[in-house]
């Protein structure tokens, strides 16, 4: 099986990388943090085989809710409301509410360049 591009989200071990490169990968796409964790053997293999290494940014979709809504969801959760109750009150899906609660557990949210503590 010959492929032109291969994507890695985690740093591959040298043996894994060698096996992939034998299959004819011409370009390797890797995240910045995975590139930093590449072993010296893996870096040497990439250099030997003259494979192009492209750093890609895999960012998710930004939160499109205003800070007031996020604060309301956090407060409802602190009042021991279930995620289904929060969904009925705010109109935000329960999975999104759950994500926002986990996100808010860091106790701060960035809004542009401004940091807001919850």
**Domain limits, the chain:** 5-56, 67-117
Give residue-wise pLDDT tens across range 66-98. 888 888 998 999 899 999 999 999 999 999 999
Residue 80: how many other CB atoms lie within 10 Å = 7
Stretch 18-27: mean pLDDT: 75
pLDDT of residue 62: 67
How much of the chain exceeds pLDDT 90, in percent? 19
Collapse the DSSP code of 112 into the 3-class scheme (helix H, G, I; strand E, B; otherwise coil) and give the result.
coil
Angle between helices 83-90 and 94-104 (to 10 degrees): 110
User: Is residue 117 over pLDDT 80?
Assistant: no
pLDDT of residue 104: 76
Q: Which residue has the tokens 């949210």?
A: 109
């Amino acid at each position: 099986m010959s492929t032109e591009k291969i994507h890695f989200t985690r740093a591959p071990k040298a043996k894994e990388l060698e096996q992939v490169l034998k299959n004819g990968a011409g370009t390797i796409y890797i995240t910045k943090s995975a590139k930093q964790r590449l072993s010296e053997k893996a870096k040497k293999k990439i250099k030997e085989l003259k494979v192009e290494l492209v750093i890609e940014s895999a960012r998710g979709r930004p939160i499109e809710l205003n800070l007031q809504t996020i604060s309301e969801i956090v407060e409802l959760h602190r009042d021991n409301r279930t995620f289904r109750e929060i969904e009925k009150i705010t109109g935000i899906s329960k999975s999104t509410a759950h994500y926002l609660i986990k996100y808010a557990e860091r106790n701060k949210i960035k809004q542009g360049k401004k940091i807001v503590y919850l």
